[in-house]
Amino acid sequence: MSEGSRTPRDVRMRGFAERSTVQQALDWVDGATDPLESESVELAMLCGRVLSSDVTAPIDVPAFDRSAMDGYAVSGAETVGADDYNPIELQIIASAMPGQPARERIRTGEAIRVMTGAPVPAGADAVVPAEFTEEQGNVVHIRTAVPPEKNIGRRGEDVRRGETVLRSGHSLRPQDVGLLASLGMECVSIVRMPHVRMLTTGNEIVPPGRPKGEFEIYDANTSLLRSLVTRDGAVIDEAVYIPDDRSALRQALEDSSADVVLVSGGSSVGAEDHAPTLVSELGELAIHGIAMRPSSPAGMGKIGRSVVFLLPGNPVSCLCAYDFFAGRAIRRLGGKTDDWPYFRVSRKLSRKIASAVGRVDYCRVSVDGDMVAPLALGGASILSSTTRADGFVVIPEESEGCPAGAEIEVCCYQPL
């Protein structure tokens, strides 16, 4: 239900007259989120971050011709015919070490002792590995031929000055950070990490570690969401517990300056579910009620510059709504891919999954070899169904389900 500027219907104790499709909700997320502004970040903090501009090499790597072996720098032409039975003798005139080049120039009949990474001496065009030599006094006996260019790393063979080495939008891996370091780059420009504020609602909610009453429950959603938000590359500014009190929730929503606000609980049709009407009063409630199972009471909108997601209180629904919508928004804001952050495999169903046309289903499944079995479609409060599961499958809204034996794509909670 896209409401625009129209005041949304108060669904408390009435139920949803209509629901938006999952695609409509995804389209709204994509329209409301673009990569944030850039910031300069030092190397130690770069892994997993996203480049906001291309990186051009300021230097050649390597910046000089260097030995790729411990051995002897020679003129390759002088080693022609050398073998174990006919070694060639060369006079050792100097040594070259990493950072300490030899000043002498090699002439006919001469060699320079050289270590891996040391600059190649003038007059040399090859390096004989130490294991094919024998040194006696100031003479080295060469027992193998080496052609010109053998065992030498030429200037710029890794990276050429002016070359674009990494593109804007690239998520930096450890090897990418290493490459930047090899270029001498202390900082680079990357997309700013989104800041997230988490509001957990409910009079019955108790933080883990505290005593709880007979009819109270420990809060799982805050810990669940912390892990998901961190996985998706955002910074958690604050996590706040809010009672089922309209004024307290209103104040918490008004106080936020985060890029994303996650409201856990209070999004459905109960008498104390104030979040949807407050979002509509303070900003825009774009979507409330989605044709999916679980997570049908999910909603989303904006208050000022903050994108707000209303996540159902039931833990599986919370996980599902986050992954479909809020996680997508956070990844997009951080410049990352908006696709599922899960390893995927294709397997055959061991038994059918029943669904209904017009509704997207998030079905937890177990994987056993080449087969996959459904564990649960419902049970929005049964968080252990996700810990028993290897992953989930998404049944599209145009489908009545999948028959046994059908090939289906599984999003795995971790690589199998």
What is the tens place of the pLDDT at every residue in 162-189? Answer: 999 999 999 999 999 999 999 999 999 9
CA 53-58-62 angle, to 5 degrees, is 125
**In the block, which residue shows the tokens 């997993």?**
48
- Dihedral angle, C-alpha 266, 267, 271, 274, nearest 10 °: 70
- What per-residue confidence (pLDDT) applies to 13? 43
- 214-251 tens-digit pLDDT: 999 999 999 999 999 999 999 999 999 999 899 999 99
- 286-302 tens-digit pLDDT: 999 999 999 999 999 99
Are 191 and 50 in contact, with CB atoms under 8 Å apart? yes
20 to 87, 152, 291, 320, 405: CA distances (angstroms): 83, 64, 6, 16, 31
> What percent of the chain has a predicted confidence (pLDDT) above 90?
88
- 275-290 tens-digit pLDDT: 999 999 999 999 999 9
- What per-residue confidence (pLDDT) applies to 189? 97
Average pLDDT of 37-48?
95
Kindly tell me the sign of the dihedral angle through the C-alpha atoms of 401, 403, 408, 412: positive
Average pLDDT of 88-94?
97
In the numeric block, which tokens belong to residue 167?
């593109």
Average pLDDT of 101-105?
96
**What does the alpha-carbon distance between residue 48 and residue 174 come to, in Å, rounded to a whole number?**
8
Domain architecture of the chain: domains with CATH: 39-61+160-191 (3.90.105.10), 66-153 (2.170.190.11), 193-333 (3.40.980.10), 343-412 (2.40.340.10)
pLDDT at residue 138 tops 60: yes
pLDDT at residue 124 tops 80: yes
- What per-residue confidence (pLDDT) applies to 273? 82
Which residues are CB-neighbours of 173 under 8 A, at least 6 positions away?
47
The DSSP secondary structure of 172-204, one letter per residue, reads PPHHHHHHHHHTT-SEEEEEPPPEEEEEEE-TT
Residue with more model confidence, 60 or 273: 60
- Could you say which DSSP state residue 221 is in? H
**In the block, which residue shows the tokens 């912390």?**
226
pLDDT at residue 307 tops 80: yes
Are 407 and 347 in contact, with CB atoms under 8 Å apart? yes
pLDDT at residue 6 tops 80: no
Are 55 and 185 in contact, with CB atoms under 8 Å apart? yes
| pTM for the full predicted model | 0.85
- Dihedral angle, C-alpha 401, 342, 291, 361, nearest 10 °: 20
pLDDT at residue 9 tops 90: no
Which residues are CB-neighbours of 272 under 8 A, at least 6 positions away?
203, 244, 266
- 315-367 tens-digit pLDDT: 999 999 999 999 999 999 999 998 999 999 999 999 999 999 999 999 999 99
- What per-residue confidence (pLDDT) applies to 17? 65
Tell me the average pLDDT of the chain: 92
- What per-residue confidence (pLDDT) applies to 376? 73
Model confidence band, residue 59 (pLDDT cutoffs 50, 70, 90): very high
> What percent of the chain has a predicted confidence (pLDDT) above 70?
95
- What per-residue confidence (pLDDT) applies to 381? 78
In the numeric block, which tokens belong to residue 125?
């065009």
- Could you tell me how many residues make up the chain? 416
**What does the alpha-carbon distance between residue 332 and residue 328 come to, in Å, rounded to a whole number?**
6
Model confidence band, residue 14 (pLDDT cutoffs 50, 70, 90): low
